[in-house]
Amino acid sequence: MVLKLHNTLSRKKEDFTPLDADKGVRMYVCGPTVYDTAHIGNARPVVVFDVLFRLLNSLYPKVTYVRNITDVDDKINAKAAETGEDIRTITERTAALFHADMAALNTLEPDFEPRATDHIAEMQVMIADLIEKGFAYEAEGHVLFSVNAMDEYGKLSGHDRDQIIAGARVEVAPYKKDAADFVLWKPSTGEEPGWDSDWGFGRPGWHLECSAMSNKYLGQTFDIHGGGQDLIFPHHENEIAQSRCSHGTDIMARFWMHNGYLMAEGEKMSKSLGNFYTVNELLGEFPGEAIRLALLKTHYRQPMDFTKDGIADAKTILNKFYTALKKMAGVQLENEPDIPTEILNALCEDLNTPKALSELHQILNDLNSSMGTSGWSGDLESFKAKLLGAGKVLGLLQQDPEDWFKGTTSADDLDEAAIEALIAERLQARADKDFATSDRIRDELAEQGVVLEDGAEGTTWRRV
RNA sequence: GGCGCGGUGGCGGAGAGGCUACGCAGCGGCCUGCAAAGCCGUGUACACCGGUUCGAAUCCGGUCCGCGCCUCCA
């Protein structure tokens, strides 16, 4: 099985092989800046690279996944100034909420989750190194990376220096030698977070942490670096410049992967338009698994219009799968299920999750038609293993069907005891052939989001 | 202005020179006291205009529309 991944460096799909089999597969993904609640656009890369992490884990014996937390940034400073809150309080709270939200989306934790503020020393070492090697210079309390010192600057994004300057909308700081130079270190006032350094009291530029931390946890060169497409320039371009010039290497990461942009309800997400869904608010309305599936229904590189209708659609789909799994609750699996070949093939084709989901539906269709109306036939153990094996790599279908159907997303849902009581009442009415009463009870429950199903083995219920 | 991505059936969404996925919704049927779930059947769509080709949604040229990035970003 050959894994093919689209590499932003070449703009093509390439066969993936680890750089160093002994070190395993090493992947770095840009994580959140913890100044505000995660929105759905922040969740897309987390979910996408979570699938990749799961896939790599099934293909290779060892995978190391690093995702940073940016906890020093001017947006955080601005937030603190605005609310009067302590910076540490903001970053701790936001990071905790991020973790909770991402866990609700069924994402696995990375192996390392380094924070920028814990790696100031490593960043300072890198700055000193870049100055020494002639790639960076000091000016008015700043340290700047000298873009002209690097021949291949702009390779990732396809920009060249002249174009960058021609289109610039921000006025060029006077202390820069070249308009395209970017900051490695900048001075802080007493109000702002800062650290002592050879270049005065200050703080790092925002690209530097990823260079320093990926080096610390993964090495000078590693396999995969991921993030949102908006990070290609300048963030990743600058990371490459810092790391390669500091280490004297030809590459920083072999594969650069970028997920596409997200819109919300047909418009670009913006706070002023009020179409800015946070993961947290969506979780109050939909199960996390449905939100996850809604994200995976679109290929990761495609632009995506994220809608509540899309989540509702995803929830309907999950209902079908969990219905089948509920019917097979008594079927025991001997072994840990493997990923079905057709699912693996789809995912190995640059993480084609929509294709994989299509194959998953095919498995369900085969199962359901084998069960037919007359009951059970076919190799149920094999079907269940396929559904769960596919679900595992996609991060879906792993919960107990009972929990899926009976779990609540809202506190004012009818409680189980009340539902059971009404079902008992209705059962009696049906036994008495009092179908008017029977149907009334069913309608009442339906109004409260509870659907009844009369089967051969009695009446079951589920929430919609 | 520069660089890049995209426009597929009512909706979502793969694919990518001939075999025309998949899902949701709809419609007809089976099952059911009636439902629900499930099953069976049912839809020749690829922005527009040219071109290449025996054949194009897929390749080439142009047009229109949407979106992103263009440096210490909001």
The complex's ipTM works out to 0.93
pLDDT-based confidence at residue A413 (cuts at 50, 70, 90) = confident
Q: Are residues A270 and A400 in the same domain?
A: yes
A324 inside domain: yes
Of the two residues A81 and A315, the one the predictor is more confident about is: A315
Average pLDDT score over chain A = 91
CA atoms of A300 and A294, how far apart (whole Å) = 12
Q: Are residues A38 and A94 in the same domain?
A: yes
Q: Which pLDDT value is given to residue A255?
A: 95
Q: Are residues A308 and A377 in the same domain?
A: yes
Q: Which pLDDT value is given to residue A316?
A: 95
Burial letters A174-183, b for 16+ CB under 10 A, else e: eebebebbbb
Q: Are residues A243 and A331 in the same domain?
A: no
Q: Are residues A237 and A93 in the same domain?
A: yes
Which of A259, A293, A327 lies at the terminal end of a domain, its last residue? A259
pLDDT-based confidence at residue A167 (cuts at 50, 70, 90) = very low
Q: In what order do the strands lie in the sheet with A304-306?
A: A267-268, A262-264, A304-306
Residues 321-380 of chain A sitting with CB below 7 angstroms of strand B? 323, 349-350, 352, 354-355, 357-358, 361-362, 364-365, 368-369, 371-373
- Is A425's CB less than 7 Å from nucleic acid strand B? no
- Find the nucleotide nearest A169 (Cα to C1′): B70
CATH number at residue A159: 3.40.50.620
Statement: residue A376 has pLDDT above 70: no
A175 inside domain: yes
Q: How many domains does chain A have?
A: 3
Distance, CA of A269 to C1' of B14, in Å:
25
pLDDT-based confidence at residue A373 (cuts at 50, 70, 90) = very low
A436 inside domain: yes
Q: Are A459 and A428 in contact (CB under 8 A)?
A: no
A2 inside domain: no
Residues 155-174 of chain A sitting with CB below 7 angstroms of strand B? 157-159, 161, 163-170, 173
- Spatial neighbors of A83 by CB under 8 A, at least 6 apart, are A90
Please give the average per-residue pLDDT across A353-377, as a whole number: 83
Statement: residue A302 has pLDDT above 50: yes
Q: Are residues A331 and A195 in the same domain?
A: no
CA atoms of A87 and A57, how far apart (whole Å) = 36
Q: Are residues A310 and A339 in the same domain?
A: yes
Percent of chain A with pLDDT over 70: 95
Q: Are residues A321 and A333 in the same domain?
A: yes
A3 inside domain: no
Please give the average per-residue pLDDT across A80-84, as a whole number: 88
pLDDT-based confidence at residue A177 (cuts at 50, 70, 90) = confident
Statement: residue A165 has pLDDT above 80: no
Q: Which domain holds residue A424?
A: 416-463
Q: Are residues A23 and A111 in the same domain?
A: yes
Name the pairing type of β-strands A182-187 and A142-145: antiparallel
Q: Which pLDDT value is given to residue A268?
A: 79
CA atoms of A57 and A216, how far apart (whole Å) = 22
Which of A259, A280, A309 lies at the terminal end of a domain, its last residue? A259
Distance, CA of A12 to C1' of B60, in Å:
20
- For A244-268, the pLDDT digits (tens) are 999 999 999 999 999 998 988 888 7
Q: Are residues A48 and A26 in the same domain?
A: yes
Instruction: Provide φ and ψ at A147, rounded to 5°.
Output: -60, -35
Of the two residues A429 and A464, the one the predictor is more confident about is: A429
Q: Which pLDDT value is given to residue A15?
A: 92
Statement: residue A164 has pLDDT above 70: no
- Is A441's CB less than 7 Å from nucleic acid strand B? no
Q: Are residues A169 and A267 in the same domain?
A: no
- Point out the least confidently predicted range of A83-92, A308-317, A357-366, A371-380: A371-380
Q: Which pLDDT value is given to residue A449?
A: 87
Distance, CA of A5 to C1' of B19, in Å:
27
Q: Which pLDDT value is given to residue A270?
A: 72
- For A18-36, the pLDDT digits (tens) are 999 999 999 999 999 999 9
Q: Are A387 and A364 in contact (CB under 8 A)?
A: yes
Which of A213, A244, A259 lies at the terminal end of a domain, its last residue? A259
| Nearest partner of A60 among A108, A22, A94, A13, judged by Cα | A22
Q: Which pLDDT value is given to residue A315?
A: 96
Please give the average per-residue pLDDT across A219-225, as a whole number: 96
A75 inside domain: yes
- For A112-145, the pLDDT digits (tens) are 999 999 999 999 999 999 999 999 999 988 999 9
Q: Are residues A379 and A242 in the same domain?
A: no
- Is A146's CB less than 7 Å from nucleic acid strand B? no
CATH number at residue A398: 1.10.730
- Is A431's CB less than 7 Å from nucleic acid strand B? no
- Is A10's CB less than 7 Å from nucleic acid strand B? no
Q: Are A109 and A206 in contact (CB under 8 A)?
A: no
User: Which residues, in sequence order, are bridge partners of residue A255?
Assistant: A224
Q: Which pLDDT value is given to residue A371?
A: 74
A8 inside domain: no
Letter for the amino acid at A257? Answer: M
Cis omega before residue A234 (within 30°)?
yes
Q: Which residue is nearest to nucleotide B24 (CA to C1')?
A: A313
A12 inside domain: no
